[in-house]
Amino acid sequence: MKKTIITIVIIIVALGAIGYVLNNNKKENKAKTDIVAEKNAAVSVKIASVKTEPISLDFAVNGSFLPIQELTFSAEKSGKVISVLAKEGDYVKVGQTLLTVRGDVINVSAQQAQAAYQNAKSDYSRYENAFKTGGVTKQQLDQAKLALTNAESNLQQANINVGDTKVKAPISGFINKKYIEPGSILAGMPATALFDIVNVSKLKLKVAVNENQVASLKVGNTVNITASVYPDKTFSGKITFIASKADESLNFAVEIEIANNVNNDLKAGMYGTANFGSKQQTQNLMVVPRNAFVGSVSSNEIFVAQNGVAKLRKVTAGRILGDKVEIINGLSDGETVIVTGQINLQDGNSVEIIK
């Protein structure tokens, strides 16, 4: 029993000694930490001044040219291709015959339909004259008229079938790809692809702009366009479409229509640049560097350096103008904003300005 009591006492004394040592170590560590913190209390930062200055509102956006029309069209009827009258690279006009399909049976059917129509027409004429003299009944005359109507409908369909043996271009443009050759068999279901036709007499330059940029654009605005392969040429375009809703990247699609030159120098798929100009070329705006914002511009938070102390300021950002951002509210001319080192800052930290 005595041994047990002695053991417990020894354990208690040992725990007390350990606690005493740990407490002393904690005090020593805190003292060392306080000394280090005192030496490194100031966070090194770089600064910039808030300025009101003339800012150009012009901006340029890159995109790619799209044809004003493009179509892969297919055969409406089945049959064997007799001749192909256009090749890749040819320019074709709407209504131009591009290929012919075998029409022997179709032509015979059309001739039969024509003969049937003429016969029904003659019958109706005889019945009509006979009805006037009482030679036939009204019912017989109506039946002759119905037969004439049916024969006329059959003839119209036969003529349509004859017309289908000549496949014509549905739009004007260049043959970009040809899928068939003489002897090809056209299928009705699924329809056989015949040609890709691309109309590049006009093109569309499709670009994406942010919310600040889209606010200054209107359908009908004139835009100067350049192509990467023709840096010395300028093309005039007109805005034809502005998206009403932003995409997942919070950008708005804008389409600009451009008339190609007589040589059709612009090709679909080329890269182009839309140079958006403002009627008011420059405007005096209060701006700060874009990297002054904590995190991103959308945070609307900026650290201001005041008497060696960082103060977190809530601001209202306006337009993003390249590497600068318009400030609508929250700052004044001449104030000093912190542009680097914000990741290490909290409101009220001391700062050391790096020259």
Nearest-angstrom CA–CA distance, 236 and 226: 9
Contact status, residue 164 vs residue 188, Cβ threshold 8 Å: no
Clarify whether residues 113 and 151 are in a common domain.
yes
At 215, which CATH number? 2.40.30.170
pLDDT in tens, 259-268: 988 888 888 9
Residue 232 lies in a domain: yes
pLDDT in tens, 306-335: 999 999 999 998 877 778 899 999 999 999
Clarify whether residues 294 and 341 are in a common domain.
yes
Clarify whether residues 207 and 266 are in a common domain.
yes
Clarify whether residues 272 and 299 are in a common domain.
no
Please report the pLDDT score of residue 179 as a whole number: 93
At 123, which CATH number? 1.10.287.470
Nearest-angstrom CA–CA distance, 306 and 244: 43
Q: Which of 210, 243, 276 is the last residue of a domain?
A: 276
Residue 38 lies in a domain: no
Clarify whether residues 311 and 295 are in a common domain.
yes
Clarify whether residues 256 and 288 are in a common domain.
no
Please report the pLDDT score of residue 103 as a whole number: 64
Q: Which of 220, 250, 276 is the last residue of a domain?
A: 276
Clarify whether residues 253 and 286 are in a common domain.
no
Clarify whether residues 206 and 264 are in a common domain.
yes
Phi, psi (deg, nearest 5) at residue 18: -65, -45
Please report the pLDDT score of residue 336 as a whole number: 94
Residue 5 pLDDT exceeds 80: no
Residue 306 lies in a domain: yes
For residue 169, give both structure tokens: 């271009």
Beta bridge pairs of residue 273: 62, 226
What's the rounded mean pLDDT across residues 8-26?
60
Tally of structural domains, the chain: 3
Long-range contacts of 345-350 (CB under 8 A, 24+ apart): 345/43, 345/45, 345/303, 345/310, 346/310, 346/312, 347/310, 347/311, 347/312, 348/309, 348/310, 348/311, 349/41, 349/43, 349/309, 349/310, 350/41, 350/42, 350/43, 350/308, 350/309, 350/310
Residue 218 lies in a domain: yes
Q: Which residue has the higher pLDDT, 136 or 350?
A: 350
In percent, the amount of the chain with pLDDT more than 70 equals 83
Contact status, residue 76 vs residue 191, Cβ threshold 8 Å: yes
In percent, the amount of the chain with pLDDT more than 90 equals 38
Residue 276 pLDDT exceeds 90: no
At 53, which CATH number? 2.40.420.20
Q: Which of 90, 91, 62, 66 is nearest to 268 (CA)?
A: 66
Clarify whether residues 247 and 297 are in a common domain.
no
For residue 161, give both structure tokens: 């079938």
Residue 212 lies in a domain: yes
pLDDT in tens, 295-306: 888 889 999 999
Clarify whether residues 206 and 272 are in a common domain.
yes
Clarify whether residues 63 and 52 are in a common domain.
no
Q: Helix, strand or coil for residue 26?
A: helix
For residue 94, give both structure tokens: 């709407």
> In which band, very low, low, confident or very high, does the pLDDT at 289 lie, cut at 50, 70 and 90?
very high
Residue pointed to by tokens 């725990």: 15
Please report the pLDDT score of residue 118 as a whole number: 87
Q: What is the average pLDDT value for the chain, to the nearest integer?
A: 83
Residue 9 lies in a domain: no
Residue 20 pLDDT exceeds 80: no
Clarify whether residues 230 and 293 are in a common domain.
no
> In which band, very low, low, confident or very high, does the pLDDT at 15 lie, cut at 50, 70 and 90?
low
Residue pointed to by tokens 């103008």: 321
For residue 257, give both structure tokens: 């229509």
Nearest-angstrom CA–CA distance, 272 and 217: 18
Residue 38 pLDDT exceeds 50: no
Q: Helix, strand or coil for residue 291?
A: helix
Residue 155 lies in a domain: yes
pLDDT in tens, 173-219: 999 999 999 988 887 667 889 999 999 989 999 999 888 788 878 99
Residue 266 lies in a domain: yes
Nearest-angstrom CA–CA distance, 122 and 127: 9
Residue 29 pLDDT exceeds 60: no
Q: Which of 224, 244, 276 is the last residue of a domain?
A: 276
pLDDT in tens, 88-115: 999 999 999 998 887 655 656 767 878 8
The whole domain housing 218 covers 59-67+199-276
